[in-house]
Protein backbone atom coordinates (compact mmCIF):
# COMPACT_ATOMS: atom_id res chain seq x y z
CA UNK A 1 0.00 0.00 0.00
CA UNK A 2 1.49 3.38 -0.96
CA UNK A 3 2.37 5.79 1.83
CA UNK A 4 0.02 8.72 2.38
CA UNK A 5 1.41 11.70 0.57
CA UNK A 6 1.79 14.90 2.52
CA UNK A 7 2.75 18.37 1.47
CA UNK A 8 5.31 18.79 4.20
CA UNK A 9 7.55 16.28 2.50
CA UNK A 10 7.01 18.09 -0.75
CA UNK A 11 8.44 21.16 0.89
CA UNK A 12 11.27 19.45 2.72
CA UNK A 13 12.03 17.01 -0.13
CA UNK A 14 12.75 19.65 -2.76
CA UNK A 15 14.87 21.51 -0.25
CA UNK A 16 17.04 18.45 0.31
CA UNK A 17 17.12 17.70 -3.42
CA UNK A 18 18.29 21.19 -4.32
CA UNK A 19 20.81 21.11 -1.51
CA UNK A 20 22.14 17.78 -2.76
CA UNK A 21 22.37 19.14 -6.28
CA UNK A 22 24.21 22.20 -5.02
CA UNK A 23 26.72 19.96 -3.33
CA UNK A 24 27.06 17.64 -6.31
CA UNK A 25 27.37 20.33 -8.96
CA UNK A 26 29.04 23.05 -6.94
CA UNK A 27 31.77 21.15 -5.14
CA UNK A 28 33.92 24.26 -5.16
CA UNK A 29 31.24 25.96 -3.07
CA UNK A 30 30.67 23.01 -0.74
CA UNK A 31 32.07 24.92 2.23
CA UNK A 32 29.34 27.54 1.70
CA UNK A 33 26.76 24.81 2.23
CA UNK A 34 28.14 23.31 5.46
CA UNK A 35 25.92 25.36 7.77
CA UNK A 36 22.92 24.76 5.53
CA UNK A 37 23.58 21.01 5.46
CA UNK A 38 23.91 20.95 9.25
CA UNK A 39 20.63 22.84 9.73
CA UNK A 40 18.64 20.64 7.35
CA UNK A 41 20.02 17.43 8.84
CA UNK A 42 19.08 18.75 12.28
CA UNK A 43 15.55 19.40 10.97
CA UNK A 44 15.55 15.81 9.70
CA UNK A 45 16.84 14.37 12.99
CA UNK A 46 15.23 16.67 15.55
CA UNK A 47 11.94 17.76 13.94
CA UNK A 48 10.91 15.09 11.45
CA UNK A 49 12.38 11.80 12.66
CA UNK A 50 10.95 11.97 16.22
CA UNK A 51 7.34 12.10 14.99
CA UNK A 52 5.20 9.66 13.05
CA UNK A 53 4.04 12.42 10.71
CA UNK A 54 7.62 13.60 10.22
CA UNK A 55 8.71 10.09 9.26
CA UNK A 56 5.97 10.08 6.65
CA UNK A 57 7.53 13.21 5.18
CA UNK A 58 10.91 11.56 5.12
CA UNK A 59 9.38 8.59 3.32
CA UNK A 60 7.79 10.93 0.79
CA UNK A 61 11.14 12.52 0.14
CA UNK A 62 12.61 9.11 -0.69
CA UNK A 63 9.61 8.44 -2.93
CA UNK A 64 10.11 11.62 -4.98
CA UNK A 65 13.72 12.58 -4.23
CA UNK A 66 15.17 11.02 -7.37
CA UNK A 67 12.63 12.75 -9.57
CA UNK A 68 13.24 16.07 -7.83
CA UNK A 69 17.00 15.79 -8.36
CA UNK A 70 16.37 14.99 -12.02
CA UNK A 71 14.05 17.98 -12.36
CA UNK A 72 16.55 20.42 -10.89
CA UNK A 73 19.33 19.02 -13.06
CA UNK A 74 17.32 19.71 -16.20
CA UNK A 75 15.37 22.85 -15.31
CA UNK A 76 17.33 25.95 -14.32
CA UNK A 77 14.28 27.69 -12.83
CA UNK A 78 13.61 24.67 -10.58
CA UNK A 79 17.23 24.69 -9.48
CA UNK A 80 17.32 28.44 -8.83
CA UNK A 81 13.99 28.57 -6.99
CA UNK A 82 14.82 25.53 -4.88
CA UNK A 83 18.23 26.92 -3.96
CA UNK A 84 16.67 30.26 -3.02
CA UNK A 85 14.17 28.52 -0.74
CA UNK A 86 16.88 26.45 0.92
CA UNK A 87 18.98 29.52 1.56
CA UNK A 88 16.15 31.76 2.77
CA UNK A 89 14.58 29.13 5.04
CA UNK A 90 17.87 28.10 6.66
CA UNK A 91 18.02 30.92 9.28
CA UNK A 92 14.48 30.41 10.64
CA UNK A 93 14.88 26.62 10.57
CA UNK A 94 18.18 26.97 12.42
CA UNK A 95 16.36 29.11 14.99
CA UNK A 96 13.75 26.36 15.31
CA UNK A 97 16.29 23.59 15.97
CA UNK A 98 18.27 25.88 18.29
CA UNK A 99 15.15 26.40 20.44
CA UNK A 100 14.16 29.81 19.06
CA UNK A 101 11.24 28.71 16.91
CA UNK A 102 8.87 31.04 18.80
CA UNK A 103 10.97 34.00 17.67
CA UNK A 104 10.59 33.54 13.90
CA UNK A 105 7.34 33.93 12.02
CA UNK A 106 6.14 32.51 8.72
CA UNK A 107 5.52 35.41 6.38
CA UNK A 108 3.32 35.84 3.35
CA UNK A 109 6.49 36.16 1.23
CA UNK A 110 7.77 32.79 2.51
CA UNK A 111 4.52 31.08 1.61
CA UNK A 112 4.42 32.79 -1.79
CA UNK A 113 7.95 31.58 -2.50
CA UNK A 114 7.04 27.96 -1.65
CA UNK A 115 3.76 28.13 -3.55
CA UNK A 116 5.52 29.42 -6.68
CA UNK A 117 7.98 26.52 -6.43
CA UNK A 118 5.16 24.01 -6.01
CA UNK A 119 3.43 25.57 -9.05
CA UNK A 120 6.60 25.03 -11.08
CA UNK A 121 6.99 21.43 -9.84
CA UNK A 122 3.35 20.81 -10.79
CA UNK A 123 4.11 22.01 -14.32
CA UNK A 124 7.28 19.98 -14.86
CA UNK A 125 6.85 16.96 -12.57
CA UNK A 126 5.53 13.51 -13.28
CA UNK A 127 1.77 12.87 -13.16
CA UNK A 128 2.21 11.20 -9.74
CA UNK A 129 4.09 14.21 -8.35
CA UNK A 130 1.50 16.57 -9.83
CA UNK A 131 -1.36 14.67 -8.18
CA UNK A 132 0.45 14.55 -4.85
CA UNK A 133 1.13 18.28 -4.87
CA UNK A 134 -2.50 19.08 -5.74
CA UNK A 135 -3.87 16.73 -3.07
CA UNK A 136 -1.62 18.11 -0.37
CA UNK A 137 -2.22 21.73 -1.26
CA UNK A 138 -5.95 21.08 -0.96
CA UNK A 139 -5.49 19.18 2.32
CA UNK A 140 -3.39 21.79 4.13
CA UNK A 141 -3.31 25.22 2.50
CA UNK A 142 0.04 26.87 3.15
CA UNK A 143 -1.68 30.23 3.57
CA UNK A 144 -3.00 28.88 6.90
CA UNK A 145 0.58 29.00 8.22
CA UNK A 146 1.10 32.75 7.60
CA UNK A 147 1.56 34.53 10.90
CA UNK A 148 2.43 31.38 12.86
CA UNK A 149 5.79 31.00 14.47
CA UNK A 150 7.99 28.20 13.21
CA UNK A 151 7.35 26.38 16.49
CA UNK A 152 3.56 26.69 16.09
CA UNK A 153 3.82 25.45 12.51
CA UNK A 154 6.02 22.52 13.60
CA UNK A 155 3.39 21.48 16.15
CA UNK A 156 0.59 21.84 13.58
CA UNK A 157 2.40 20.00 10.80
CA UNK A 158 4.24 17.18 12.58
CA UNK A 159 3.18 17.38 16.23
CA UNK A 160 5.34 17.19 19.31
CA UNK A 161 8.33 14.86 19.34
CA UNK A 162 7.73 11.38 20.69
CA UNK A 163 9.87 10.41 23.63
CA UNK A 164 10.96 7.15 22.05
CA UNK A 165 11.50 6.15 18.46
CA UNK A 166 9.66 3.07 17.28
CA UNK A 167 11.89 0.07 16.84
CA UNK A 168 12.89 -0.38 14.12
CA UNK A 169 12.50 3.19 12.87
CA UNK A 170 9.55 3.22 10.52
CA UNK A 171 11.20 5.45 7.94
CA UNK A 172 12.13 3.73 4.72
CA UNK A 173 15.65 4.34 3.54
CA UNK A 174 16.77 3.81 -0.04
pLDDT surpassing 80 at residue 65: yes
The pLDDT-based confidence of 28 (bands split at 50, 70, 90) is very low
The pLDDT-based confidence of 170 (bands split at 50, 70, 90) is low
pLDDT for position 111: 97
Tell me, letter by letter, the H, E, C secondary structure of the chain. CCCCCCHHHHHHHHHHHHHHHHHHHCHHHHHHHHHHHHHHHHHHHHHHCCCHHHHHHHHHHHHHHHHHHHHHHHCHHHHHHHHHHHHHHHHHHHHHHHHHHHHCECCHHHHHHHHHHHHHHHHHCCHHHHHHHHHHHHHCCHHHHCCCEHHHHHHHHCCCCCCCCCCCCCCCCC
| Sequence spans of domains, the chain | 7-157
pLDDT surpassing 50 at residue 1: no
Q: Which has the higher per-residue pLDDT, 92 or 2? A: 92
Q: Which has the higher per-residue pLDDT, 135 or 99? A: 99
Amino acid sequence: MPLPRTRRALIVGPLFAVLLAGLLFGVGRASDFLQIVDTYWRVHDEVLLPTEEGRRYIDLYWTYGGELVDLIQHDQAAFDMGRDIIESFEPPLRALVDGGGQEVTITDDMVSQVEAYLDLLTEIGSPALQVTIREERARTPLRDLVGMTFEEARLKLVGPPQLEYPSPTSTSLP
